[in-house]
Amino acid sequence: MTAPQSPITKNNNTTLTDTFSAKDIISLYKQQLDIDVSRFFTSPSFYLFRCNDTGYRFYYPEGLDGDGKFYEALQNKLGKEYYHTWKFENQLAFDEIKPGDKVLDIGCGIGNFLIRAKEKTNNVVGLELNQNAVNVCRQKDLTVFNEMIQEHAATHEDYYDVVCMFQVLEHIYDVKDFLEASLKVLKRGGKIIIGVPNNEPYFLGYDKYCTLNLPPHHMGLWNKDVFKQLEDLFNLALLKTEYDTSGRIMAEAYLRAKYISNVKSLPGRHSVKEKLLMATIGLVTLPLTIIKKIIKGIHGSHIASVFEKK
């Protein structure tokens, strides 16, 4: 197979790291979430590649990413569980907003962050592709558009002081185009805050069959090292990076046990047999995780960074 272009650099310095059966993933989504994702897979296999210049890992081929109907189905299935009320990256961004700032939240969901941001400034706008979520936002008297950032950038160049994207970038295949459009709407000296799942082992890093970390939900796998590479690629200054610190030891011990036992079901949907197997393995992984925390420390399951546009 010819090495594909990296979605983040647009060069071909990429390496194949894993292969997946589309049939298996279609089955997992159906069993665990009762969602049919077969329309996204036109070939029997898809692949995970690594961008050798940045360490970014991405699923290939292009076109596996979910559409508005897919996210409507997820929202209907998971309800409030899917759109978190307030997370650490929301607070990180909130702290960067100054009175009068123009703020854009890309992928704003049902508007939880926008509502809080209005405590500091009335100039808040959201973008969201899930029409059901857009309708909820408008019922809350929020200014939200059902459009891509590329469309928005065509009429809002150098417009915003703060641009946020919480749990969005991992859903995007063409990272370079998406980030360039996001920066196009940002003023020079403005702040862009990006929050994503942390795919540093063991937080999702080794959980190959974590359904919601696979297409059509996720298209790329991020960690701190990849964030650092964004500085030179997009002419940014990295100001700070923070991790979600909740449940670190138990979460890592759980993911280690899940990986070792090859359990594929989602959390909360494990069979009795799977629970017993992971509990047994957990007798080993928990002490190992505690030792790791003492020696090296453990990062959280999510990561967020604040960048400044040069």
Query: What is the C-alpha separation between 208 and 200, in angstroms, rounded?
Result: 13
CB 222 within 8 A of CB 305: no
Angle subtended by helix axes 131-139 and 68-78, to nearest 10: 70
In this prediction, the residues of the chain whose per-residue pLDDT falls under 50 are: none
Beta bridge partners of 86: none
Nearest of 217, 163, 219, 167 to residue 193 by alpha carbon: 163
- pLDDT tens digits along 182-221: 999 999 999 999 999 999 887 788 888 889 999 999 999 9
Q: What are phi and psi of 120, to 5 degrees?
A: -105, -30
Burial of 126 (0-12, 13-18, 19+ CB in 10 A): buried
CB 299 within 8 A of CB 202: no
- Write the DSSP string, 101-163: --EEEET-TTSHHHHHHTTT-S-EEEE-S-HHHHHHHHHTT--EE-S-HHHHHTT-TT-EEEE
Which residue in the block uniquely carries the two structure tokens 């960048």?
307
C-alpha to C-alpha distance for 257 and 279, rounded to whole angstroms: 8
Q: Tell if the pTM clears 0.85, that is, is over it.
A: yes
Q: Report the pLDDT value the prediction gives residue 201, as an integer from 0 to 100.
A: 81
Phi, psi of 194 (to 5 degrees): -120, 125
pLDDT at 157: 97
Domains and CATH numbers, the chain: 14-65 (no CATH), 70-245+301-309 (3.40.50.150), 249-295 (no CATH)
- Answer yes or no: are the C-beta atoms of 273 and 286 closer than 8 Å: no
Give the H or E element holding residue 305: strand 302-309
Q: Which pLDDT belongs to residue 79? A: 75
Strand partners, 306: 193, 240
HSE, CB side, 13 Å, CA atoms: give it for residue 277: 16
Name the H helices within the chain.
Answer: 22-33, 68-78, 88-94, 112-117, 131-139, 149-153, 175-184, 224-234, 248-261, 272-295
Give the per-residue pLDDT at 252: 86
Q: Taking a C-beta distance cutoff of 8 angstroms, is the pair 78, 110 a contact?
A: no
Burial environment of residue 206 by CB neighbours within 10 A (0 to 12, 13 to 18, 19 or more): middle
Beta bridge partners of 220: 58
